[in-house]
Amino acid sequence: MSSPDWHLQDGYDVRFEWGTTGTAALAVGAAVVAVIDVLRFTTAVEAALGRGASVFPYRWRDDSAPAFAESVGATLAEGSDPSGPSLSPLSLCRLNGGDAVVLPSPNGSTCTAIAAEAGAAVVAACLRNLSAVADGLNDSEGPVVVIACGERWSDGSLRPCLEDLLGAGALIGRLRGSRSPEAESAARAWDVATQGDVATSLHSSGSGRELHAKDHGDDVTYAAELDVSTVVPVLRDGRFVNVSAVPRGD
């Protein structure tokens, strides 16, 4: 898509935007796009890779998902089997090394696909792996775009959400280089949040309350743990794998 230049945050090393439209606009000029979907896609990716598995992001949770999973030899995370994999990070902690899972998500997976199609390298970040991802990004060259994936309102429009704002701000605060005003504001939001109890804020947020209502409060507790993981999820050949260095885009 085309976008007026003044929206692209050109000239800054670290840039920040929201959702699929923001990804499409800024990914073209990025070396690396870091996607943030704390509740729950990127946290789920961290959980799976922490067990030695890999994750295929998939945009649609529809009838095409099982066929895609079969085509790549992976298990579909659909949630119909309580003992099987789903978007719940805790369900993915039961995976084994070498397992592969397809993880549909209208937010995190879709932003990932858009960034990859634009030629950027893509890394998945959450609160659990902030410093590990930041270290990798600080060793890369070229602009870094941090995307808060956000949630959706019932009409399908973007719902900016607290957890992704804080996750993006926390990552930006660990990155070297000049920050756009948008990125700087996200970093400051994280600084303000850390003056209180971040975990309590996540549990009390709209997304946290939704997950509690669906009996997934433990996922919020898992997602709120800060800097406990060294997993660096990078998209390679359509799947997230754990790497030690973040590559540049095309």
In this predicted structure, what is the pLDDT of residue 2?
A: 55
In this predicted structure, what is the pLDDT of residue 82?
A: 73
Characterize 177-204 residue by residue with b for buried, 16 or more Cβ atoms within 10 angstroms of its Cβ, and e for exposed. eebbebbbebbebbeebeeeebbeebbe
| Residue of higher predicted confidence among 3 and 176 | 176
In this predicted structure, what is the pLDDT of residue 80?
A: 65
Note the CATH number of domain 5-242. 3.90.1560.10
Does 227 score more than 90 pLDDT? yes
- Please write the tens of the pLDDT for every residue from 12-64: 999 999 999 999 999 998 999 999 999 999 999 999 999 999 999 999 778 89
In this predicted structure, what is the pLDDT of residue 63?
A: 86
Amino acid at position 116, single letter: A
- Please write the tens of the pLDDT for every residue from 111-165: 999 999 999 999 999 999 999 999 999 988 889 999 999 999 999 999 999 999 9
Task: Give Cα 13 distance to the centre of its chain.
Answer: 20
Q: What is the Cα–Cα distance from 180 to 163, expressed in whole angstroms?
A: 21
- Please write the tens of the pLDDT for every residue from 73-108: 999 998 667 778 999 999 999 999 999 999 999 999
Helix (H, G, I), strand (E, B) or coil at 32: strand
Mean pLDDT value of segment 168-176 = 97
Helix ranges (H only) for 139-247 are 162-172, 181-193, 198-204, 206-213, 217-223
Does 1 score more than 80 pLDDT? no
Tell me what the pLDDT averaged over the chain comes to. Answer: 93
